[in-house]
Each structure stands twice: as structure tokens, then as C-alpha cells.
Amino acid sequence: MSDTILKLEDITKIYPNGTVANRNINIELRKGEIHSIVGENGAGKSTLMKIIFAIEKQTSGKIYYKGQEINYQGSMEAIENGIGMVHQHFMLIPSFTVAQNIVLGAEPSKSAFIDMKEAVRRTQELAHKYNFDIDVTQKVGSLTVSEKQKVEILKTLYRNAEVIILDEPTAVLTPQETEALFEQLEKFKETGHTIVFISHKLNEVMQISDRITVIRNGETKGTYAAADITMDKLTELIIGAKLEDSYDEFKHPVKDAKMLLDVQHLKYSEHGVGKVNDVSFSIRGGEILGIAGVQGNGQEQLIKAITGLLPFQDGVVKVDGTEIQGMNIAQKRDAGMSYIPEDRMVDGTAPGASIRDNLISTYYQKPKYAGKIFTKDGVIREESKMLIDRFSVKTQSEKEKVSALSGGNIQKVVVAREWNTQPKLMIAEQPTRGIDIGSAAYIHHQLIDMRNNGAAVLLVSADLNEVLKLSDRLIVMYEGEIVAHFASLKGVTESQLGLYMLGVEHQSEKEIREASYDD
Amino acid sequence: MTTEKAKKRFRITDEGPFEVLRILVSILIALAVTFVVLCFVIEGDSIPARLGNAGATFIKLLTYPCKNMFYFGYVLVKMVPLTFAGLATLLYFRTGLFNLSTEGVFYIAGVACTYFAVSEARLTGNPFIDSAICIVAAGLCGGIIALLPGYLKAKFQANEMVISLMMNSILFGIGFWMIKTFLAISGVTGTSSAPFVASARLTTIIPKTQVHSGIIIVLVMVVLVYILLFKTKLGYAIRITGLNQNFARYSGMGAFGLFMSVHFLAGFIGGMGSAVELLGVYQSFTWSQLPGLGFTGALMAMLGKNHPIGVTVAAFGISYLRASAQLLANSSPVIDIKLVSVVEVILTLLISSQYFLRSWREKQLLKEEQCNE
């Protein structure tokens, strides 16, 4: 039981831009245990996993596997030797069947051809053995997210993985699906597999783990048996401070609030498939409306159709009474819209540009910052410094490149820029995804400040906890439709929301219509 | 916050200094390889003799243009069109467009310049105004021609590199035909235009050299492009779009107007460069094939890291070596302009490779980290 299977010794990793991701990390994994690695995002967990899985190479330090020092040249070698990894983003081919995906790269063959019958037989047998209820002849494209995850796990088992790394496996799952996954993981312990579990969600970590290793700022802060440590202690180790559970005390009511966003009968389809089907809701000033739902149920298309990143198709969107659906992005922004996009590296910043340049991109043409031809460098410099200061972006100078910042600080740059136009409507899409808890709490407070100052906030997040903590009202989306609306979040629980998110329950049309105001 | 900034120490591993170091090491390696090549091709009976001869020739190659003012002037003259082409191309590269049409623009704008420069009837007789007419005409011609790939890119997302390369051939064909048919001396067959009118040609500004007033024009353009890129709204949009087009779109910047402006400006600068080169160096239009200056512009933009000052330095450096090789070609049997290509190729390779010297920098950072602990 206590045999060490994998040992990391003094692992240090420095990225080319000078970022130190890991510093002298020491971890010991035992055979047949569930070992959680927790830490803020940007603490270095992902890098560490990539090093174990040989996607990245450590700058210094040693890895021992089954007592031998290893030095794999790539992930193929790691897989061959029994180390498997299920990535956060699935690496499956949608047009292949489950069986085809599982055997890909190690197909059973009959002379020169792939023996598909044998592949189906073997994978079905494997699924039975580990109690996965899945039809292996189905196309992967038609599976749900949790089923796809099972396929990913089966893929590692097919290659006889003994150590399985799960990178944030519950991020895409509903509470019910998470429970099912955990039962599965317990079984793996019995078959002698070692599970490395990476998660943000501490209650899950406490529930499932045998031992827990905390990483902060790229360094190990100790390994603890789950039975010996409390949640409070764990939180303290991760962030070095305690955080509040609810933001209610910071929220102030806003008087005589006007309706600032009104969406009516919005529809969006891709290749003839309806992604958003007749969605209507509205938000008043001084209100945060949260959208909950399992990822891929139309939230992304809804937001992008409103903000203009996707072409608008059908429906009416009004910001403070003005119809904006026909406008281009610049005009929408002029009408009072701000937008924190889902992906800060793709849409939210130009990583190769300076912080200064990233802080002004959405309003540099305004008379305060530029004349007819020239930009007003002095004003822009002062403004950048003010924003860096106010949003406590950790940097030496406003001239530093955004790519040199950590995820949390990059997100602060995005929020600072979007805040600076004093928007009537703030659309926040996954505003704290993948950033450290400290920065996340900071950004939450900024959103609440905007709300208190009379802005309407539309919040979409895959993190249920975040939606529940911040929202004044909440809608749940399932398969492109609103299936539930809560005018108040008093007494609403995660598992209750889970039933709506999975499409098990559905409110009456009358209840859902209350998501829109009449005035 | 400001006090923190003042405390910042100079470190070779910081982005800026590291970049400079990388370029210097690249230059050293490129020159070293050239020396090795020289050792192989040079005459000599024994190895020491060969080394000696190669060393002497190598030093000559590096110092020859400094020998007298005329030679050094030759470097400056060669530098002018390279800088123009580099400035035009860097505007494309900064916007994230891999457009190589400066080559064709150089040719066709040269024809436009020739149209005015060969006829006294189209000019005033005032040297200043006449040169300006020719240069502006060439610039407008280049700008308008460049709008074509710009429009196709902005409107239909056409691949600008393919289009610009095809266009170069077409522009050459049209230009060559126009020179032969309309602008040559009537009755004379050949590939040259009629001679330029004296008042159109640029004047020599340093006595006993070939250095013409084009060097002043190009330096002014360097400053203007610098201001455009770093001090104007358009320049800001260019830089942001080039670094991340998604982000530019998200921020509400319109791609259409930007692409059109960039193409026009780059075409204009390319056209100007062509006219300045023709009026400064040539007696008449004699390019019977594409001059190759536009492509060299892409090289300058790359070596100069898409910065106007960088492009000027790169153009000077490459011109220096090219001029030296050309001047020496008459007296030395082994030196040829092709020898300089060795330097150019290796420099391009090293400077454009992201990974060059990277692991060295990582090790330095690691050491520093460990010292801090």
C-alpha cells in the first residue's frame, strides 16, 4: 500500500520568458492512492503535470518511476511506461467511434489491416471490467461531456496506465456526474491504480483524496493525509489568507434602477443546428444576472451574438433602450457595453503588446486619449499607471509586455480596461477562469462595485460556486434554452441547480418568462 | 510605483538587452562563417598561407568602404533603396500581413516616375519641384497599385502573399511593355527609356561622392514612419492588429479601413523609394528585370525587427558589406557579391529563430533565481 511508485525530486522549471513555474518541488506518489495536487491557478500545477507526462522538460531535478530515474523524451514514452493523463480539454476525434478513439495509435491488427471487430471486443470488455456503462460503437461526437471523459479515462486504461493524471476533471461536470466519477475513482484504488487528482474545488479534494499536496507560488507547501487536515487549514495553505464565503454584505441596493439590458427572442444557429433557441431575459442597473449551465449549452453563442464576436442572426437586444443588434462592435461599446471575454489570451489581450497598449484598446480613439491623428501619450501613460495602481497589477512598469504577467494579473488588465469606460452593461464571461484565488476575489469585488454603482452585470461562468456567490438573479441554460429562472438565490443549492443543468427538471413557461422585465 | 521603477537594474537577460545581444552574436557567427568560406575558396599553397591570405582579404572586406569618402558614399547610396523597401515592408509585417508586393511596386512606380522624368513638357524646369513631381507621382502610383491586394485581403480574406507574388510578375510585364512602347526614344530598339531630364534628377549633396539628396528624404521617411507607428492612432491600430487580430476585432477596430490605409502607405513609400533610386543613381530607366530591391526590403524588415530604426541600421550594415564586396570584386579574384549572401542568409536564419540562445538565457535566469534564495 505504501510503495512509492513515482517520486519527484527537486523539480525546477523556468520558462523562456523567465517565469519560474516550479521551484524545488518534491512529491512522492504511492501505489493505489488518490493523491490530490491543489493550489491556485498559476501556482505551477499544470506545469508539474506536463513535466511528469513528459510534455515539458524540467530545467533541473530528477523523476524516479518505480525506483528508476526516468528521462522520457515525449509523452509517447510516458504512455508506453504506464503514465496516463486526461487533459482538461479532451483530445478525441468526434467523427470516430468510441472504440476507434480508444485504440487509436495502438490498434489491434490483422495482417496489414486494423481489426475493428477485435478493437470493439477489447474495448467493450475493458469498459465492462471497469464498470463503465458505455456503447463503444457510438460516435464520440454524439456523447455528453461526462461520457467523453470516460472515453479519455478508458484510453489511458487501454494502454495499461498505472498512474493516471486527471487535470481538473470535475470542471466540466455537474454535481451528479462528479459523484459518479468519484465512485469510479474509488474502484481504481482497489485495482492498484494511482490517481493524481488536480482540482480547484476543495470540498471535492477533501472528499476523494487519500493525501493532498499543496503548491503555492511554484513551491510545495507540504503533503498531508486528507483525514488529518481541515478545509480551513487547507485554504490557508493555498492562499495564505482566509476569504469570505458570500458577497452579500458588500452589495448595496440601487434605487430607481432602469432596465439596462433587454434581450428578446434571441436565436443563433450553426450549420443549421440551433445553439440558442428563443432566449429572452433582461437586467436592471444594480443587478448581477448569472447564467449557469454545463459548458456547451449555448451560453457561449448567446454572449458572442450579443457582443458581436459572432454575427447576429435573429432577435432584439437593447442596451438602455437602444437597439444594438445591428451595430458593429465599436458602436456597441459606444452604446455602453463592456465585455470581459472568455479567453484572455485570444480575445482579451495582445500578449506581445505592452500593458499600456492593452489598457486602452477599446477607447483609445476618444478625445481624451487622442486627437485627430496623434495619440496623447502623456494622458495615456498617467491613465495606465492609475489603472495598474487601482487594480494592483503586479508589474514593474506599464511598458512591460502582458505576456510576462501571470494569468491573474493579465485578467486584471482586462477587467481594468473594461471598467475604465464606466459601462452601463458589463458582460463578464468566465471572469476568473484559471486565475489565483486572490485575484479572483479582487475581480469579484470589482464586479460588485460596478453593480453597486448602477451598472447591469451579465455573468457567465462554468464555476457554479462563483455564479451562486455573485448573482442577484440566476437563469439556467440547457440545450440553448432557459430552463429555470431564480429571482432570488436564497436557499438555492448546487444540487438543485444540477438537476436543471442536466435537463432533468424544467420550470413552467410562466416562471421562465419572469426572467424578462415588462417595463 | 515610480520609485520601484527607478530601482530596476540593468540585466542582460531582460527582453531588450537580450535582443541586442542576440543580434550581436548572430552577426559574429555570420562573419565567422564567411571567414571559413573565404579560407576554402582563397588561393594559397599551405594552410598558414591560406589563413593569412583569407585574414587579409577578410579585413579588407570589413574595412574597405572606410578607405575614402567616395567608397563610403557608395555605401550610403546603396542604403537608400533598401531602407525605403524595408520601411514599406515593415508596415505590412507590423500589421501581420506577409505582403511582398514592394518588389512589383518598385518596378511599376519606377515607370510612373519615368513617365514624368523623361519629358520636359510635363515638368516645370525647377529642380526641386520637378523631383517632387516625379517622386509623388511614383508614390501615388505605388499606393494605388498596392490597394488592389489590400482590397482583396480586406474584403475576401485572400492570401496576400500569393497575390502579391503573382502581382509582381504582372506588374513587371506591364511596366516593361510600357517602357518599350511609350517611354523609349522613338526609333531606337532596346530596353531603356529615354534619358531623364536634368531638372528631375536628384542633386549630389556631398562633393566627390555619388551621395544624392535621396539620403535626406529617406531619413525623413524613417522619422515619419517611426512617428506613424508609435505616436498616432493609426500606428496603434497597426501594432495591435499585427500582434493579435482577434483582440483588435474584439476591441472594435475595423480591419477594412486599416488594411486599406496600410497598403496605400506601404505602396506609397515603396513607390517613393523607386523614384528616389532612379532619379538619384540612373540616367534613364534601364531595369530589364525586377530589381530585387523589394524582396531585400523583406530581409531588412526581418533583420531590423520591424522597427524603422532597426531597418535603417540593417540597411546600412548590408549595404556596407555589399558595397565593399562590389568595390573589391575588381581587384580580388575571390570576393563576389555572392559572398555577402552568405552573411545575409545566416543572419536571417539566426535572427528569425526564436530558440537561438534561449537555453543560455534560461540558465542565466536559473542561476539568478538560485542566488536570490
pLDDT tens-digit readout, A355-407:
999 999 999 999 999 999 999 999 999 999 999 999 989 888 899 899 888 77
| pLDDT given for residue B233 in this prediction | 96
CA distance to partner chain B, nearest, from residue A38 (Å): 24
Residue B13, burial from CB neighbour count under 10 angstroms (0-12, 13-18, 19+): middle
Does the distance separating the beta carbons of A362 and B232 come in below 8 Å? Answer: no
Shortest Cα distance, chain B CAs vs residue A330, angstroms: 4
What CATH number is given for A4-239 in this structure? 3.40.50.300
Cross-chain CB nearest to A352 (options B232, B243, B361):
B243
CB A401 within 8 A of CB A352: yes
Tell me the pairing of strands A194-198 and A34-38.
parallel
Set of chain A residues whose Cβ sits within 8 Å of the Cβ of B5: 396-397
Q: Does the structure show a pLDDT above 60 at A471?
A: yes
Q: Which residues of B touch A389 (CB under 8 A)?
A: 1
Which residues are within 8 A (CB) of A405 and not within 5 positions of it... i.e. 6 or more apart? A355, A393, A394, A395, A413
Please name the residue of chain A whose CA is at the shortest distance from the CA of residue B359. Answer: A16
**Least confident interval from A104-113, A480-489, B88-97:** A104-113
pLDDT band at A1 (very low <50, low <70, confident <90, very high): very low
For residues A470 and A484, what is the distance between their CA atoms, to the nearest angstrom? 18
Q: Tell me, what's the pLDDT at A42? A: 63
Q: What are phi and psi of B192, to 5 degrees?
A: -115, 150
Q: Which of A348, A373, A397 sits opposite B5 (nearest CB)?
A: A397
DSSP A417-441: HHHTT--SEEEEESTTTTS-HHHHH
Chain-chain contact of B233 with A333 (C-beta, under 8 angstroms):
no
**Measured between alpha carbons, how far apart are the two ends of chain A, in Å?**
66
Residue A479 has pLDDT above 80, yes or no: yes
Does pLDDT of B3 surpass 50? no
C-beta of residue A31 within 8 angstroms of C-beta of residue A1: yes
H helices of A228-276, where?
231-239
Residue B2 pLDDT greater than 70, yes or no: no
Ranked by mean pLDDT, the top range of B19-23, B279-283, B349-353 is: B279-283
**Chain-centre distance for alpha carbon A31:** 30
CA distance A96 to A369: 53
CA B350 to chain A, closest CA, distance in angstroms equals 17
Q: Quote ipTM for the complex.
A: 0.85
E-strand spans in A271-374? 273-284, 287-292, 314-319, 322-323, 337-340
| Range(s) within chain A of domains with CATH label 3.40.50.300 | 4-239, 248-513
Name the residue facing A361 among B4, B240, B366 (closest C-beta).
B240
**Cβ neighbours for A515, distance < 8 A, ≥ 6 positions apart:** A280, A281, A282, A473, A475, A482, A485
Q: What is the pTM of this model?
A: 0.78
- Beta-carbon contacts of residue A350 (< 8 Å; ≥ 6 apart): A357, A358, A361, A402, B240, B243, B244, B247, B248
The verdict on a CB contact (< 8 Å) between A375 and B247 is no
Mutate to test the interface with A, among B93, B236, B249, B256 (most CBs of A within 10 A): B236
Test B233 with A370 for CB contact under 8 angstroms: yes
Least confident of A65-69, A477-481, B11-15, B367-371: B367-371
Question: Under 8 Å CB-to-CB from B129, ≥6 apart: which residues?
Answer: B123
Asked if B366 and A377 come within 8 Å (Cβ–Cβ), the reply is no
Check CB contact under 8 Å for B231 and A389. no
Q: Is A64 helix (H, G, I), strand (E, B) or coil?
A: strand
The pLDDT confidence band at residue A306, using thresholds 50, 70 and 90, is very high
Computed on alpha carbons and rounded to an integer, the radius of gyration of chain A in Å comes to 24
Q: Give mean pLDDT, residues A323-338.
A: 94
**Was domain B72-333 assigned CATH 2.60.40?**
no
CB-based contact, B248 to chain A, within 8 Å: yes
State the pLDDT at residue A334: 94
User: For the domain A248-513, what is the CATH code?
Assistant: 3.40.50.300
C-beta separation of A447 from A439 below 8 A: no
Facing residues of A61 across strands?
Answer: none
pLDDT confidence tier of residue B140, bands split at 50, 70 and 90: very high
Residue A496's CB is within 10 A of a number of other CB atoms, namely: 15
Residue contact A346–B246, C-beta within 8 A: yes
Rounded to a whole number of angstroms, the distance from the CA of B14 to the nearest CA of chain A is 9
Q: Is B338 on the interface with A (CB under 8 A)?
A: no
- Tell me the nearest-neighbour CA distance from A388 into chain B, angstroms: 9
Is pLDDT larger for residue B189 or for residue A145? A145
Q: What is the dihedral of CA A243, A247, A252, A253, to 10 degrees?
A: 180
**Are residues B231 and A375, on separate chains, in Cβ contact within 8 Å?**
yes
Q: What was the pLDDT predicted at B53?
A: 86
Q: What is the pLDDT of residues A112-125, one digit of tens each?
A: 788 888 889 999 99
Chain B partners within 8 Å of A364 (Cβ): 233, 236
pLDDT tens string A214-251: 988 788 888 999 889 888 788 778 766 555 567 888 88
Burial B104-120 (b: 16+ CB within 10 A, else e): bbbbbbbbbbbbbbbee
- Report the pLDDT averaged over residues B62-89: 94
Whether B236 contacts chain A with CB within 8 A? yes
- pLDDT tens, B54-68? 888 889 889 999 999
Query: Which DSSP symbol is given to B251?
Result: T
Asked if the Cβ–Cβ distance from A364 to B233 is below 8 Å, we say yes
For residues B267 and B270, give the distance between their C-alpha atoms in angstroms, rounded to a whole number: 5
